[in-house]
Amino acid sequence: MAMRLAIQANVLNNQPEHSNNEVHTATIATRNNLHLGVGTLTNSDHALILSLGDLTIGGQIDANQRAIGQADFVDNGSATIEALGNGKINTKRLWNHDFASCNGIRCYSRLYIEEYRPNGSNAFILIRKVI
């Protein structure tokens, strides 16, 4: 686990690796601050993005190794993005969801949840949509 980490990428896929009939869950983690400057971030299939300090997701990494600007799209599907300190996700579109679960004939609906707090506000906005 890194002490502090800054990653710049047009597309960052934090997804499991399949090899030798085994699945290895993906993890990006730091003991201190984590800064992701991304166009598109995909965190899926029980993957983990964790900062034991602050976590910032934006569009670029500046000269001070901090995330600034706005990402285009953050897709968190059946995965975890967690900060034990302050967390900030600045993105044009956030998709926080669980994948559909089917068992035999019976299928369960998909529940899409978005929760965000407008900059400068103390109020959280929660959007739920069942499909």
pLDDT tens, 66-122? 999 999 999 999 899 999 999 999 999 999 888 755 555 445 545 555 566 667 776
Confidence (pLDDT) at 115: 61
Closest among 3, 6, 47 to 24, alpha carbons compared: 47
> pLDDT tens across 22-71, in order?
888 999 999 999 999 999 999 999 999 999 999 999 999 999 999 999 99
Percent of the chain with pLDDT over 90: 60
Kindly tell me the sign of the dihedral angle through the C-alpha atoms of 80, 94, 116, 91: positive
Domain boundaries, the chain: 5-101
Residues 107, 18: Cα–Cα separation, whole Å: 26
Is the Cβ–Cβ distance between 50 and 82 less than 8 Å? yes
Is the Cβ–Cβ distance between 71 and 35 less than 8 Å? no
Residues 90, 86: Cα–Cα separation, whole Å: 13
